[in-house]
Structure 1
């Protein structure tokens, strides 16, 4: 690896050690981690390489695709609209998006979209990556789709569709895309380096993502073997290809999977979900974000988790599994390959971790676990 850069407050030296060990023992290529307490950064470290050829060092402002860590950012947007009185989570989706009521979906409330309980975890026909770049076309497909299960009864991870479902409600309310809403309401006013739909002017500082090897542990194969036809359709989606490193992918708005940012930005955004001072969410909104929507074995990822999990309104709850540290009411979101964002209101904590060499674990990558354990050990 290149020399480690950034700063780390003295009580958090174990985080620096865990970050270095991710390179020396866990195959890291390039990465960054940021920890904020009370909205202030106590750890902000980066190192390694932004490309597999090791010709570009990872820098303070290196951006990378964080995959599903983006979902927590979309949840933040929705909660801001609730705070502004523009969105009612218990209103039917059709109040904002009338066409959505087709195929028996007229009664589905907005909260089911945020908690992956709408029954729309997969498209019913194959879609290509190019299809995903057509926002109106995807929204029309989802509006016409019949739910795969009775909405509200179980969660089933909406890996790709989540961003279009919640994003279309946001678009109908504000009159512009989720990426534009994020820029105008959050990232520009607060100086946060994160985008959904990256302009070409930023390509020079984007890290090249290295896709994981073909399931050497057999975890994905086992997941598919145990999955229902619906879950297989949800998991066998186009985001598993190398398109993340292309201009069209970066330019598109895929709010479930293609946010680009720094670890600092991820930590700042998840700190806002935890109620950081000066942020858009007050205490009541923070409680709303982590309001459990019902524990169950997830219909898509159940085999990967090996038991019950629970979603709040846009993020996974740490719960008894401790996926986001020892506070069961902490919450966050992992991204495909290893990135994550974490929010802990009690500890006034936000954590962001991003990297470009993707791991093979479906959730709880060992690099993530090591960093979280080190952070909580320092508190």
Structure 2
């Protein structure tokens, strides 16, 4: 609990966004011009059945089963189960970090960029950075994500590279978070890069959305000379 009694949005603004001058909000204030916020185009749940080649069948099956943990997680509260609900001003004003962070994509990259270069502005200590960059310890009950219904790897709440989703440099010290519809952002300490991609039209990939991975591959494989980010890429 914050000793000063701030909400999560207030804490984030004062301790993280303001020091980095990052235009990002958890709970959009009425003073923010709504015309500057992109409209999110979502999709209906049944449309996922038309994209089983892109979304894991195990996830789609669980998502469409109202009794599953997956469906209950994504529909809590039920109104937020509709992707386009995030376009409502009252929803934007809520402080739900896992749902409605609103801001510039460059701000997200800036936050991860600070973490990738030592976390001085964020006030990250050596112990925290070491925990984020080292290989994650597998949970005692396995690596199957009970909501996404696929194998994943996390450390301190951030996703780490794993065989089905490799990102960043080849050393595997990167950590980040993917979002609904194809968005993805992460820190790569080996290269000192903070990367972020977001779109306003949701796609049907849990990760490696073709739009996102093309940009990430251009940066890491072509510019920085790291390993290809696209698992389907074949390079000499």
The verdict on a shared fold, with TM-score over 0.5 as the criterion, is yes
Out of 205, 212, 215, which is 1:361 matched to?
A: 205
Question: 2-side partners of 1:246 and 1:176: how far apart?
Answer: 24
Deviation (angstroms), 1:207: 0.6
In the TM superposition, 1:226-237 aligns within 5 A as 229-237=68-76
Deviation (angstroms), 1:324: 2.0
Aligned position for 1:201: 31
Please report the TM-score for the alignment, with normalisation by the length of structure 1.
Answer: 0.50
Deviation (angstroms), 1:285: 2.3
Determine which structure has greater relative contact order: mean sequence separation of CA pairs < 8 Å that are 6+ residues apart, divided by chain length.
Answer: 1
In structure 2, do the counterparts of structure 1 residues 299 and 177 end up closer, same or farther at CA, with 3 Å as the change threshold? Answer: same
Deviation (angstroms), 1:323: 3.3
In structure 2, do the counterparts of structure 1 residues 322 and 224 end up closer, same or farther at CA, with 3 Å as the change threshold? Answer: closer
In the TM superposition, 1:74-113 aligns within 5 A as none
Question: 2-side partners of 1:342 and 1:277: how far apart?
Answer: 13
- What RMSD, in angstroms, separates the aligned Cα atoms of the two structures? 2.3
| Conserved? CA contact 2:62–2:68, under 8 Å | no
Deviation (angstroms), 1:290: 3.8
Deviation (angstroms), 1:327: 3.5
In structure 2, do the counterparts of structure 1 residues 223 and 258 end up closer, same or farther at CA, with 3 Å as the change threshold? Answer: same
Question: 2-side partners of 1:333 and 1:283: how far apart?
Answer: 21
Instruction: Identify unmatched segments of 5+ residues in structure 2.
Output: 225-236
Render the CA deviation track for 1:288-307: whole Å, top value 9, x for unaligned: 234524251222223xx4xx
SS class of match (2:180): coil
SS class of match (1:337): helix
1:297 aligned to 2:144? yes
| Conserved? CA contact 1:209–1:244, under 8 Å | yes
Aligned position for 1:347: 191
SS class of match (1:355): coil
Out of 235, 247, 272, which is 2:114 matched to?
A: 272
Question: 2-side partners of 1:311 and 1:298: how far apart?
Answer: 10
SS class of match (2:51): coil
| Conserved? CA contact 2:176–2:187, under 8 Å | yes
1 or 2, which has the higher helix percentage?
Answer: 1
Please report the TM-score for the alignment, with normalisation by the length of structure 2.
Answer: 0.77
In structure 2, do the counterparts of structure 1 residues 181 and 287 end up closer, same or farther at CA, with 3 Å as the change threshold? Answer: same
Out of 36, 41, 53, which is 1:210 matched to?
A: 41
Is the radius of gyration larger for structure 1 or structure 2?
A: 1
Aligned position for 2:231: none
Number of residue pairs matched by the alignment? 205
Deviation (angstroms), 1:270: 1.2
Render the CA deviation track for 1:293-347: whole Å, top value 9, x for unaligned: 4251222223xx4xx3210002100133343233422111111111111111111
Aligned position for 2:179: 335
SS class of match (1:257): coil
Render the CA deviation track for 1:103-151: whole Å, top value 9, x for unaligned: xxxxxxxxxxxxxxxxxxxxxxxxxxxxxxxxxxxxxxxxxxxxxxxxx
Aligned position for 2:96: 254
